[in-house]
Chain A
Amino acid sequence: MSRSNRNPAYRRYMWRSLLISTAYIATILLAVWAIPDNAPTAPAYLPFALLPGIIIGGWVWAMARLLVELQDEYLRFLEVQKILVATGVTLAWTGAWGVAELFLPHLPKVPVFFVFPAWCLGLVVGQLVVRIRFGADGGCP
């Protein structure tokens, strides 16, 4: 673990991410338990179906708080670089795949919920780019 991981902003980010991840898994399990297979689209199931998605917003909030709370401008710069790479990779991939789906009917359809995991994978790409360009990691993936 690098020294920057001892930064309080990173520690708070890690704790928030852990709590949000736990809540995400719990709400997914709740939705699986509460909504039967082949259930009709009924208002009663709506909260169970929406809750995991709302919690994904929590991850975005945690990342935004990290950028706000990071006092070290260089570390903040590295995190912003990772986010820009992740956003670029995700937009390029989803945009290109979506257009390809229009013209290639046999291409597998990518469910929209894959966009956020793809963005998280993009952060890993961003970490690699930052390591190559700046020889540094920042504090978190």
Chain B
Amino acid sequence: MNNRLKVLRAERDWSQQHLADALGVSRQSVNAIETGRFDPSLPLAFRIADIFALPIEQIFLRD
């Protein structure tokens, strides 16, 4: 699954650590999701959507 996490984070000038702290996960997790090595669970994907105030389908895209 592709995602726009890196772009959205850059637009807000957030570091990976900042986003990780906001989500309550490790920076490793954010990095793994951004680079496509790990697909988050639905609850975490919804938390990410809430933080960016965007619908989930505008962050996570089908392959």
Please give the residue numbers on chain A whose beta carbons come within 8 Å of chain B beta carbons, in ascending order: 2-4, 7, 71-75, 77, 134-136
Please indicate the chain A residues that have their CB under 8 angstroms from the CB of B26 in the complex: 3-4, 7, 72, 74-75
Please indicate the chain B residues that have their CB under 8 angstroms from the CB of A134 in the complex: 32, 37-38
- Which of B27, B31, B37, B41 has a CB less than 8 Å from the CB of A73? B41
- Among residues of B, the one whose C-beta sits closest to the C-beta of A139 is B26
Contact A3 B38 (CB under 8 A): no
Please indicate the chain A residues that have their CB under 8 angstroms from the CB of B41 in the complex: 73
Q: List 11 A-B contacts (CB under 8 A).
A: A2-B28, A3-B27, A71-B24, A73-B40, A74-B25, A74-B26, A74-B28, A74-B33, A75-B29, A77-B38, A134-B32
Please indicate the chain A residues that have their CB under 8 angstroms from the CB of B24 in the complex: 71
- The interface bits of chain B over 9-36 (1 if a CB of A lies within 8 angstroms of the residue's CB, else 0) are 0000000000000001111110111000
Cβ-closest 3 pairs across A and B: A74-B29, A72-B25, A4-B26
CB distance from B14 to the nearest CB of A (A): 17
- Which of B25, B29, B37, B44 has a CB less than 8 Å from the CB of A135? B37
Which of A2, A4, A7, A72 has the largest number of chain B CB atoms within 10 A? A72
Contact B29 A73 (CB under 8 A): yes
Near A by CB (< 8 A), chain B positions 33-63 give 33, 37-38, 40-41, 44
